[in-house]
Chains A and B, each alone.
Chain A
Amino acid sequence: MSFSAADVKRIAHLARIEITDVEIGPVLAQLSNILKLVEQMQAVNTEGIKPMAHAQDIPLRMREDEVTETDQHELFQSIAPQVEAGLYLVPKVIE
């Protein structure tokens, strides 16, 4: 399972984390080591085994589709980097 600089760039973009050209080498080396560790999983046969997503293998609880939250947007927006008229301000997307 080879992992390349192109993979690092692609993953970094998916994760929306900037990785400069200078950082790519060390990050690639560290991630490759971790992936080598992870490869150990392939040695075990898991045919016919169901994946287990929950620690006790139980489904999540359901609730009634009712409004239970109150409007606290003023409180929550008081800590935002930039707000105006109840809206979060962000820069434009430049294509």
Chain B
Amino acid sequence: MINSSLKELSALLAARKISSRELTEAFFARIEKFNPELNAFITVDPEKSLAQAEAADRLRAEGRAGPLTGIPVAQKDIFCAKGWLTTCGSKMLHNFVAPYDAHVVEKMNAAGIVNLGKTNMDEFAMGSSNETSYFGKVKNPWDRTAVPGGSSGGSAAAVAARLAPAATGTDTGGSIRQPAALCGITGIKPTYGVVSRYGMIAFASSLDQGGPMAKSAEDCALLLNVMAGFDARDSTSLQRPAEDYTRQLSEPLTGLKIGLPKEYFAEGLAPDVAQAVETAIEEFRKLGAQVVEVSLPNTRLSIPVYYVLAPAEASSNLARYDGVRYGYRAPEYTDLTDMYKKTRAQGFGAEVKRRILIGTYVLSAGYYDAYYLKAQKLRRLIAQDFADAFRQCDVIMGPTSPTVAFDLGEKADDPVAMYLSDIYTIAVNLAGLPGMSIPVGFGAKGRPVGLQIIGNYFAEARMLNVAHQYQQVTDWHTRLPEGL
């Protein structure tokens, strides 16, 4: 049952073979046993979750259950959930009990999904290893000496270790896709604007996007159906007709044109990752796809562009954390300015502070044109690269991460080395395109390898179809770490 897909769990619940309460309790037992070591969850509240489970069971008894009613799903601790501690992995919000629900949480509650608990994450979503959380590092279930990736490391580890059948994540520069790859699970970041950012604690507003993380593309599609949709309270939420993201899953891949950017298979890519990705591409050929070489010439520029734009937006978004209205306030200070400075110095971790400082600098008088405006111009070039590539192919594929999971502590002291590992994922956020990662094998030290699929705007259903067809003829996505 802990290995069951969302579809299978839905069938079990519908057939009354199990109640939502029993299902939720089964996952609590897993969490109790394995979370102390993995540290995937920050907050677990059985009383609240079981109350939701019982409400779901009642809905079912009244004949009003939907496809995911009664299924427990973990929430990345970046989504405000009313009455729940919502920390964003930070000391700054260590005591913040959200007074409202994020749009995503509202939709999931309305669908009868049970909130299984809040997962660990890099502080304020800034990180690629889940090592910056105030609540401690998360361990990769496949190798406890390795990072799970970040920033949605807790969600990825929870799904990989079967502590949750699915989880929500957010992705600003790769934070759904990269931990999905490093933990051997499936995750999708939709087109910018598809999932509402209301109640999703802001990092970089023009890049942030929430999305599902689960054991398969089909499960991701089912959860995306609930998460997606217009929300008037998010000024960047797109008004489009509602979509069923499962509608194309069964389509054959004959005639599919896959673009392989030559820049993604150049230096910096570890040979074990290259091998697993090449084997996966071969599988797609067998499924009827054609492969063409494309070029994304400005790939390398995406890192400096991102590390100007994202910190700039973060410096603005994190200005609200001042000890006045909620969250941490320094215990001692002389005056108002001193209170702000001490609250923020004590409440934020080192990486967050670095990014706020860089962001403040690039937006400051005299530097705005050379940095921020320059980065926005390069952003247009990067988006144009993808537009040109999509004239020659339907989807773009490549490795999600240049290496498998690195060791805990390996890059923690070298921020720039950490930033460079985002090379394949970042440009997708800059262009606002949808991107997903699926497991395609294992590399060095038995650590998982992920393949990234990038689609054109609003191509999620097609991408999920491509991933699903691959998952029908391979079993990487069903593997379970040893000892779990």
A and B are interacting partners: yes
Which residues of A are at the interface with B, using a C-beta cutoff of 8 A?
7-8, 11-12, 14-19, 27, 30-31, 33-35, 37-42, 44, 46, 49-57, 60-61, 63, 72, 75-82, 88, 90-94
Interface positions, chain B 362-418, Cβ under 8 Å from A, are 362, 364, 370-371, 373-381, 383, 415-416
Q: Is A56 a contact of B354 with CB atoms below 8 Å? A: no
Query: Which DSSP category, helix, strand, loop or mixed, fits chain A's interface?
Result: loop
Q: What CA separation (Å) do A11 and B363 show in the bound complex?
A: 10
Q: Which of A14, A18, A79 has the most CB of B within 10 A?
A: A18
Tell me whether A94 and B334 are in contact in the complex, defined as CB-CB below 8 angstroms, given that A41-B301, A79-B97 are known contacts.
yes
Q: Which of A8, A63, A90 has the most CB of B within 10 A?
A: A90
Q: Which of A16, A27, A41 contacts B322 (CB 8 A)?
A: A16
CA distance A61 to B324 in the complex (A): 31
B206 interfacial contact with A, CB 8 Å: yes
**A39 CA to B305 CA, complexed, in Å:** 10
Whether a CB of chain A sits under 8 angstroms from the CB of B207 is yes
One of A16, A41, A92 near B308 (C-beta < 8 A)? A41
**Whose C-beta in chain A lies nearest to the C-beta of B237?**
A61
Structural contact, A37 and B416, CB atoms closer than 8 A: yes
Query: Are the C-beta atoms of A81 and B416 separated by less than 8 Å?
Result: no
Is B432 interfacial (CB 8 A cutoff)?
yes
B60 beta carbon closer than 8 Å to chain A = no
Contact B357 A51 (CB under 8 A): no
A11 to chain B, nearest CB (A): 5
Give the total number of A-B pairs whose CB atoms are below 8 A apart. Answer: 166
B322 neighbours in A (Cβ, 8 Å) = 16
Task: Point out the residues of chain B lying under 8 angstroms from A15, CB to CB.
Answer: 315, 344, 356-357, 360
A46 touches B344 (CB 8 A): no
Tell whether B96 is near chain A: CB-to-CB under 8 Å: yes
Quote the shortest CB–CB distance from B223 to chain A (angstroms). Answer: 22
Contacts of A34 in B (CB 8 A): 307, 354, 358, 415-416, 419
Q: Does B280 have its Cβ within 8 Å of any Cβ on chain A?
A: no
> Which chain A residues lie closer than 8 Å to B419 at the CB level?
34, 37
- Measured in the bound complex, the distance between the Cα atoms of B313 and A87 in whole Å is 29
How does the 8 Å CB contact mask read for B320-334 relative to A, with 1 for contact and 0 for none?
001111100100011
Chain A residue, CB-CB nearest to B382? A52
B348 adjacent to A17 (CB under 8 Å): yes
A17 neighbours in B (Cβ, 8 Å): 341, 344-345, 348, 353, 356-357
Contact: A52 with B379, CB < 8 Å? yes
11 contacts between A and B (CB under 8 A): A15-B360, A17-B356, A37-B303, A55-B383, A56-B193, A57-B380, A76-B325, A79-B97, A79-B326, A82-B329, A91-B336
Distance in angstroms between the alpha carbons of A35 and B371 in the assembled complex: 10
13 more contacts with CB within 8 A, not counting A12-B341, A33-B415, A90-B324, are A16-B344, A31-B357, A40-B300, A41-B308, A46-B377, A55-B430, A55-B431, A63-B232, A79-B95, A80-B324, A81-B323, A91-B333, A92-B336
When distances are taken between beta carbons in the complex, the residues of chain B under 8 Å from A93 are 335-337
Report chain B residues within 8 Å CB of A8.
357
State the CA gap A28–B111 with chains docked (Å).
Answer: 49
B339 at the interface (CB under 8 A from A): yes
Residues of B close to A81: CB separation below 8 A: 323-324, 326, 329
Residues of B within 8 A of A33 (CB): 415-416
Q: Which of A44, A76, A82 has the most CB of B within 10 A?
A: A44
Give 3 closest A-B pairs by Cβ, nearest first: A55-B432, A51-B376, A55-B192
